[in-house]
């Protein structure tokens, strides 16, 4: 795989502050299902605490990526599903611990009415690209 190309501000599009508008890559696609704030025993981590949940979700993403031979550097797209858009700063802080500002992926953030269980505040899925 060649290094992904990031286009943070295409002509005529308002520049992004916390994500990259366009990322192109060639290679093997890795799709990671939406991850929740569950530990390895299936217990919720950080009930009512967006920072603790975001940290656990990113740790679960890291483990899933690793299982496929990928790292956060290979991530080209993240999708955040949140029950309250006010949880985005906690997600951004957890993301910053794993992804430097010069490697930000494309991102979508969606506020949803509910997730699979009411104690979950967020679910995050990832797309990564590995060499063929």
Give the residue among 17, 10, 122, 31 at the shortest CA–CA distance from 75.
Answer: 31
1: pLDDT confidence band, cut at 50, 70 and 90?
very low
The distance from CA 94 to its chain's CA centroid, rounded to whole angstroms, is: 9
- Classify residue 119 by burial, with Cβ atoms within 10 Å: 0-12, 13-18, 19+: middle
* CATH number of the domain that residue 91 is part of: 3.30.1330.40
Assigned domain for 79 exists: yes
Q: Measured between alpha carbons, how far is 83 from 74 in angstroms, rounded to an integer?
A: 27
11: pLDDT confidence band, cut at 50, 70 and 90?
confident
Residues of the domain holding 117? 33-130
Instruction: With H, G, I as helix, E, B as strand and everything else as coil, classify residue 31.
Output: strand
Assigned domain for 11 exists: no
Residues 44-82 have pLDDT tens digits of: 999 999 999 999 999 999 999 999 999 999 999 999 999
Q: Measured between alpha carbons, how far is 48 from 31 in angstroms, rounded to an integer?
A: 28
- Classify residue 114 by burial, with Cβ atoms within 10 Å: 0-12, 13-18, 19+: exposed
Please give the tally of structural domains in the chain.
1
What is the value of pTM for the model shown?
0.89
Assigned domain for 25 exists: no
Assigned domain for 13 exists: no
Assigned domain for 83 exists: yes
Contact 104, 18 (CB under 8 A): yes
Assigned domain for 18 exists: no
Residue 130, CA distances (Å) to 9, 34, 79, 94, 112 in order: 24, 19, 19, 23, 31
Assigned domain for 48 exists: yes
Assigned domain for 51 exists: yes
Q: What are phi and psi of 49, to 5 degrees?
A: -115, 100
């Amino acid at each position: 795989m060649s290094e992904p190309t990031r286009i943070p501000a295409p002509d005529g599009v308002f520049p992004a502050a916390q994500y990259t508008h366009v990322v192109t890559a060639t290679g093997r696609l890795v799709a990671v299902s939406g991850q929740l704030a569950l530990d390895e025993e299936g217990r919720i981590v950080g009930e009512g605490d967006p920072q603790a949940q975001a940290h656990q979700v990113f740790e679960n993403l890291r483990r899933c990526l690793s299982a496929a031979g990928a790292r956060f550097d290979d991530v080209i797209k993240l999708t955040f599903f949140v029950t309250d858009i006010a949880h985005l700063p906690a997600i951004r802080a957890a993301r910053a611990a794993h992804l430097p500002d010069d490697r930000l992926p494309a991102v979508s953030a969606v506020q949803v009415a509910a997730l699979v269980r009411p104690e979950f505040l967020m679910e995050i899925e990832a797309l990564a690209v590995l060499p063929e």
